[in-house]
Amino acid sequence: MVILKALIIVALLLTLKVAIDSFDFDLISTSPIISGLVAGVIFTIAILFTGTLPDYKESEKIPGELAASIKSLYKDARISCAKDQKTFSEIQANIKELLGIINSNLKNKTWKLREINSATEKIEDNVYHLAQNDVSPNFISKMRTELVNIDRISNRVETIMETTFMPVAYLIADVAISLVILLLLFVKMDPYYEGITLFGAVSFLLISLMLLIRDMDDPFSGAIRVDLSTLSKLEERMIPKTQ
């Protein structure tokens, strides 16, 4: 999608460039200053890319970490309730509900932390009930640890989805890219076809990189969203066990 959007925009720009050249509106001559402006814009884009990449790489790990914590929570509950099937069925249903809420939020490109917290609180009540029934402290501790991990990851997901890396930097980059492309539209290309090719290449590079960075800044909703299949597959495996 990023490449397709960039190609469409570049195609429109090339059409506009040809029209401008046909009417002899290309009045700006090439100079080293233009090359310096392009280099400056690419430097700005590099700063944005460096800033958004760590969050994106961290986001790639989040589905796997969530799935591991939920799966561990389920297994510990099954062992802890080996002699109490009723309690296990209740915990099992609450874990499935939590996983369903997480998957539903991610599929809908939202993150309703209140719903997730409500689901984890039900599991916490189950763990408290197990502690009252003299279940091994080791299992209680492990289940509490996984709940804390789920809570920590959930808050991190909300932070990533709700915040944007340096909005002012995005504004500066957008304005700089627009000005450079506008300037190149009125630059006299010589030789012509080579110049048109370079204009298309530079425009594609700047636009596609900016679109890529914007999608990376929203790793759970953008066109290049992280792989969520681990959580979906875990829910599919748990459904037969709760029916």
Q: How far apart are CA 172 and CA 220, in angstroms?
A: 25
Least confident range of 29-38, 40-49, 112-121, 210-219: 29-38
Whether the predicted pLDDT of 152 surpasses 90: yes
Whether the predicted pLDDT of 243 surpasses 60: no
Domain edges within the chain? 2-30+167-216, 61-164+226-242
Percent of the chain predicted with pLDDT > 90: 37
Q: Which H helix or E strand runs over 243?
A: none
- State the pLDDT at residue 240: 53
β partners of residue 187: 28
Q: Supply the DSSP symbol for 31.
A: -
Pair 230, 59: CB distance under 8 Å: no
DSSP letters of 27-88? -BPP-HHHHHHHHHHHHHHHHHHHHHHHHHHHHHHHHHHHHHHHHHHHHHHHHHTTT-HHHH
What tokens appear for 122 in the block?
Answer: 């039900």
Confidence tier at 242 by pLDDT (50, 70, 90) = very low
Name the average pLDDT for the chain: 87
Mean pLDDT of 54-70: 91
Confidence tier at 132 by pLDDT (50, 70, 90) = confident
Whether the predicted pLDDT of 8 surpasses 90: yes
pLDDT digits (tens, 9 = 90+) for 164-192: 777 888 888 899 999 999 999 998 887 88
Q: How far apart are CA 212 and CA 107, in angstroms?
A: 21
Give the HSE-up count for residue 137: Cα atoms under 13 Å, Cβ half-sphere. 0
Least confident range of 107-116, 132-141, 197-206, 233-242: 233-242
Place of tokens 């994106």: 56
For the question of whether the overall pTM of this predicted structure is more than 0.85, the answer is: no
Whether the predicted pLDDT of 16 surpasses 90: yes
What tokens appear for 57 in the block?
Answer: 């790489």
Q: Which of 57, 2, 42, 50 is nearest to 215 (CA)?
A: 2
pLDDT digits (tens, 9 = 90+) for 79-119: 887 777 788 888 989 999 999 999 999 998 889 999 999 99
Confidence tier at 50 by pLDDT (50, 70, 90) = confident
SS3 228: coil
